[in-house]
Structure 1
Amino acid sequence: MTLVDVHGLPGSRMAYWWYYLAMVFLSYVLHRPWLMAGILIFFLLRPFLPDPGILLRTWGQIQTLTAQIQANPANITARRDLAIVWLERLRPRRALELLDEARTRFPNDAELLYLTGVARLRCGDAEGALEPLVQAVEIDPKLRRGDPYLTAAEALLSLGRIEEAEDALERYVQANSSSMQGYVLLAVTRQKRGNADGARKALDDAFHTWSTIPSFRKKGQWYWWARAWFHRVVG
């Protein structure tokens, strides 16, 4: 049997180049404090800055949907879709304006109610987000695989209503058992309530979920996998 020198493979050599590039970049940054400060500021502002890819992808959508609304002010679908775009761009106040207009015509639309709750929460109105979220799940309990429960839990946590947040998260993971985020937040919530055994059970469920979901589903959940490990270690 012929042995293969893995260090001689092109992919392996390419991997080593990343170390060299990282060292060059670090050397460059250390000699330019202003650049390091800029990187730090950008890192701190990441939660408030939309993904550049989203900005590019949605630019044309904004033009198209705005034109559709101007041509037909009664086009509720266009208003909803444009509101979703503004939420993706982290502009919840613009989204909320469109959603409020749409709900004057369809006040009992579960999707519009859910999006209204999301927009209100992102505007800083956690209390105001709860009513439309509750209405949304009363109309359609299976909406978006339980996302209204997750958003409600986030609002309740920000309000310090831990017990209610735990209930919302339990409902969420029942509706969406493949969400790492749901299990990790449930573990954190139970830990805050002093339920160490329940927190460990939620983390066990998180790691079991990670082992069973397909690779393409893991791509967007690495952050929650890392948080699960962090909470497992610090316990």
Structure 2
Amino acid sequence: MSATNSRKSRQLIDTLPPEARQWLTGLPWVQRRYVLSLCHVICASSPEGQAKFLDEYTADGVMSRIIHDQDTQQRIYYHLHRFRIQTQLTEKVLRRYVQQFYIHSAQVRQHQENAYLEAAMRLMADGREHNRVLTYILGFELLILLFGMSWEQHERLYRLQPNQEDFFNLYIRPVQRAHRLNGIIIPKDEDRFFARRDYFVHIPQIKPGQTVALIMASFLPKQVSQLGAVIMRHQNALQFDYAHIFQQDSDAAIFDSSP
């Protein structure tokens, strides 16, 4: 091996955590062959194959951390109930969200085939990373709720917020843009005041799988996690009055000309 290649190999090994570096360099030759075989198989696999392997190989460790964080789970349940969201954080649901977090993180990076592995490594190595998954779950569940609301209900929700403009621009606007682009809500004659009612009160009909895809296309994973984290840190960060938002009488919102 040339001196240049030797330096590159050493630089690569030096990027590993100390425990992993010590373990790798201490392996006898026979076991090093196993490591090289694994590296070859992963590099030769498609992104989908890598994802399947990483899910199966890392899921138990990641799930153990999440399941044992009962305090955070209980706080998430509190907010899910506050928003009248019925999702139960079963092991199946948590595993699905872990996989989704991997995929979503990979989608926003340039080299997707490496990004999935990077996301899995961070989740395994960083004790705080599982908290990001949990806040991601809370943020994602709230966005699912927003995608299923009419624009009238959006209006009622953002008018409850202390900073209406920020909330609208960060969360409501991207949701309504996705509604428009995907033909879920089609504002016809929206400049005509009395024609506004039909599309404004329309309840979107979206399949669960489509909702997930739309959220992942409309929001970065960091934005989703931040939404959940803000709600977790400050109980009143998001004002929510279920009876007011989902009331049946829509005339007040439609004909209210106040800003």
TM-score, length of structure 2 as denominator length: 0.26
TM-score, length of structure 1 as denominator length: 0.28
Query: Higher relative contact order by CA 8 Å / sep ≥ 6: 1 or 2?
Result: 2
